Amino acid sequence: MTDVFLNKTEKANRTLQTEIPSAKIGKKPNVVFLLIDTFNLNSFLGKGSAKIPFLNSLKKQSVVFTQAISTSCNTYTSTASIFTGTYRPKHGLTTHVQNVLGSNLKTLAESFKEAGYYTIAEMERSVIKELGLCRGFDEYNIRQNNETIYTNWGKNITKRLKEKSSKEPFFLFLHLCELHRPRLMTKEFNKKKFGKIAYERSLSCLDFYLAKMFENVKEDTVIVLVADHGEMIPKNKADEYLNHALIGYYMVLRRLGLSRKFCERESHGTNLREDVIRIPLLLKGTMFPKGKVISKTVSQVDIPVTIADCLGLKMGKDLDGKSLMPLIQEKEFAEKPVFIEERGVKLPLKQDWVEGIRTGKWKYVHGVFNKKMPEELYDLEHDPKEKTNLACKNTDKVREMRTMLATLKRKIAPKENNKQALSSEDHKSVEKELRRMGYM
């Protein structure tokens, strides 16, 4: 299903001229923060074969960002950025080096709790309390392996929203992993009419159940929808089969320069391709205009700062993000380059870690420690699918982007070392869950 509304807006490369409501609010609204794991942006925009009537309707009632960039393509790093408004150098969380969130950082949940909200988290199983992301939540519930939005777990949340059994106002953080491999869906949706590949059929199913869950949510509820990271998805069934057959040889193929050709049809956690770092971002509420599409580059670290700004919450200090409300209200707003990196559990060797910088036009990526790893430079304005690496041809721009990255890294470096390692027992618990999800 093609979302004509969004495609026309993107094609014109402009935002819709809508009446922009005031950011001032009276009664505190409930807030539902929906984190959909492994959500491909093009699928969200309706450019695939998934059937997503609920999401299409929600987009038309919201502000939609088409150039929102994830800080990383692993869940711990990106979720910590969403919770704190900081990049990994400050918050310290990755799926590789298991640190606890620094006590000097204030979480979004702590800000909500200070403002009188009842705070609830429904988290994916690997995001254990010991990581520190539970701070500020009155309830921090980790669902079991077999619990999904399609089982009693989802029915109970739907019932809770319908019967308004939570204290109000509430902040509900809901982490959904149905799109993550192995692509969960009910058998009714595992049919070609709901998508050409498993990913799109899973999304069709998720959309149907989200519609049920949200049909009784109050009209003035603030809804935030975002992904932790995107996903490279295959074009067809043949690509799907080939990727599954070769994914175990990924690192060997990568060192031979063949991973992109054979293994990166369906993946995340190994590279910083656009399909992985460009993510869905949607904001709905009485303080946000309906049907506005914004194509300026923004980062995950901007999300909590924006929510705090429009709801009058107090965030912590030394943040990397900034409020997007001036951009939404069509006031002066300067785009900032976004720091991107991948050093998660799928890249166990430091020689494979990568980092880079993403602007509205350019993306630059290099090895963190491996100087022999080829630098990458892409002109995203003219080459959005990153087919042509310009690093060898445009050396002046490479030097400029390299300097820009070094400057940004100095800016986002922590002022104090407040990192604390996970205990050996907790580390083993995390590794067990990462193995279950296929990362180790």
Enumerate residues 6+ apart whose C-beta is below 8 A from 379: 361, 362, 388, 390
Structural domain boundaries in the chain: 27-336
| Residues 136 and 187 sit within 8 Å (Cβ to Cβ) | no
pLDDT by position in tens, the chain (length 440) = 333 334 443 443 333 333 444 444 568 999 999 999 999 999 999 999 999 999 999 999 999 999 999 999 888 899 999 999 999 999 988 865 567 888 889 999 999 999 999 999 999 877 878 788 999 999 999 988 789 999 999 999 999 998 876 789 999 999 999 998 889 999 999 999 999 999 999 999 999 999 999 998 999 999 999 999 999 887 766 666 565 555 555 555 555 666 555 555 556 556 899 999 999 999 999 999 999 999 999 999 999 999 999 999 999 989 999 999 999 999 999 999 999 999 866 677 788 889 999 999 999 999 999 989 999 999 999 999 999 999 999 999 999 999 999 999 999 999 876 666 666 666 666 666 655 555 44
Q: Is 244 exposed, middle or buried (0-12, 13-18, 19+ CB in 10 A)?
A: middle
| Residues 94 and 111 sit within 8 Å (Cβ to Cβ) | no
Q: Which residue has the tokens 């799907």?
A: 240
Closest CA to 138 of 104, 175, 101, 172: 172
CATH superfamily of 27-336: Alkaline Phosphatase, subunit A (3.40.720.10)
Question: Could you write out the DSSP letters of every residue in 331-378?
Answer: -------EEEEE-STT--SGGG-EEEEE-SSEEEEEESS-TTSPPEEE
Q: What is the pTM of this model?
A: 0.86
What letters, b where the CB count within 10 A reaches 16 and e where it falls short, cover 307-339? bbbbbebebbeebbbbbbbebbeeeebeebbbb
